[in-house]
Amino acid sequence: MRYRLVSACLLAVFLITPQLSGAEEDLLGHISSLSGVVQMKRAKETQWRAPELNMQVYVGDTIQTQEDGQATITFTDESLLKISPNSHIALSTILSPAEKKHSILLFFGRIWNKVSQRALRQRVVEVQTPTAICGVRGTEFETAAYEDGTMVVRVNTGQVEVDNERDQGTLSANEGAQVSLDSKNIKAQPGMQPDWEKSEKGGRERLFADGEKYGGYVNDEIKKRRDHLKGLVDRAADLAKKRDESISRAQNAQNQGDEITYETNMQKADALNKELKALNIQIAFYGRRLECQFGLFRHYGDLAKDPVLSTMFRGKDFILKELDNVEMIQAEFDTMIEEGMKISMEDMEDLMDEMRNKMDLFRSKSGKRDPFKDL
């Protein structure tokens, strides 16, 4: 039992975060420009470090810029990401092995993306903020996530699909949109020219004027998403159990020479694996959404603890009161994500190969056709 538990935890970590050795497949690119105060943290590490020019970046890295800090990342597919001052991002966290996706989580701040055609051919590219998701279908755009939860995006070239899980809208070149935490609709604004610095200042002023309002909204979203994610993980556990039962019945049928029962249960197991794969992608998606909310609320906590800024922060007592609860939910979330990814994807490819090999062996002995051929 102890061996299984340790193995499961290690496998879950492998699926969700990069290995600390910096495996080649986890390499995303390198820091191509750097100025001011910038901090960087590798996945599963707790200590921030000062990055250096040309330092490689990997899946799961977190980067934070201070008031005078800026950084540019050049990705291996030749895409560019410029991180503005006072920003906090994470790179491709909580990705399902079934996804071909590059995800940037923008907790707060502003970034500029230039996505190469090579990147668009290879994978889906998205920017997630606490407020909405930007699905990239074109090359150059800028996104800001302000401290009151307002998101502003402007497309320079190409197209970006904005989705706040209530509405979707496609922005084309020279269009923009502004989305707040309680926005119901995505409205494209032709010719939008955001005043980024003014909007950043306004976001902080609104947050500091009523921290309980904005903190309460994010806190409620965290709890709702936690409950939804738990439902997905429970569903994955149920499907995994049914899949294992089908495999067990197929193995018993094979031993008894019952060809029809064997084929029927192998087909069921195959179908259940497909469901688990789709569910795994959902778990990863909602995990990223929840991680964005955690990132923003942790920032609220940092502001409420700051000896200078806290004196201007109305509602800081509410933030500090809820901060421990949010941290406990995040610990629960980390366990749920690991369990959900483990249940959905643990040894999936090995299992399917084993199933195929057994089917090939069975067909060779019995002369039966491939029962998966028509699936």
Q: Tell me how far apart the alpha carbons of residues 324 and 331 are, in angstroms, rounded to a whole number.
A: 11
What pLDDT sits at residue 18?
37
What pLDDT sits at residue 4?
34
Position 15 pLDDT exceeds 80: no
What pLDDT sits at residue 125?
86
What pLDDT sits at residue 11?
30
What pLDDT sits at residue 7?
31
Fold of 23-195: Jelly Rolls (2.60.120)
Among 32-46, 48-62, 91-105, 333-347, where is mean pLDDT lowest? Answer: 333-347
What pLDDT sits at residue 1?
37
- Whether 187 contacts 167, CB under 8 Å: no
- Work out the average pLDDT over 16-35: 69
Position 113 pLDDT exceeds 90: yes
What pLDDT sits at residue 280?
86
The percent of residues in the chain predicted with pLDDT above 70, rounded, is 83
Q: Tell me how far apart the alpha carbons of residues 303 and 309 are, in angstroms, rounded to a whole number.
A: 6
Average pLDDT taken over every residue of the chain? 85
What one-character-per-residue DSSP string does 271-309 give? HHHHHHHHHHHHHHHHHHHHHHHHHHHHHHHHHHH-TTG
Among 12-21, 194-203, 271-280, where is mean pLDDT lowest? Answer: 12-21
Q: Among 179-188, 253-262, 337-346, name the most confident range.
A: 179-188
- Work out the average pLDDT over 195-213: 96
Q: Which H or E element spans position 122?
A: helix 117-122
Among 286-290, 323-327, 331-335, where is mean pLDDT lowest? Answer: 331-335
What pLDDT sits at residue 375?
41
Position 285 pLDDT exceeds 60: yes
Q: pLDDT: is 101 or 78 the higher one?
A: 78
Structural domain boundaries of the chain? 23-195, 211-366
- Whether 313 contacts 303, CB under 8 Å: yes
Among 30-39, 227-236, 269-278, 364-373, where is mean pLDDT lowest? Answer: 364-373
Q: Tell me how far apart the alpha carbons of residues 345 and 352 are, in angstroms, rounded to a whole number.
A: 11
What pLDDT sits at residue 25?
57
Query: At residue 35, what are phi and psi to the nearest 5 degrees?
Result: -155, 155
- Whether 121 contacts 139, CB under 8 Å: no
What pLDDT sits at residue 368?
57
pTM: predicted TM-score of the whole model, two decimal places: 0.84
Q: Tell me how far apart the alpha carbons of residues 352 and 105 are, in angstroms, rounded to a whole number.
A: 32
For 16-69, list the strands marked E by DSSP.
Answer: 27-35, 38-41, 56-58, 62-65
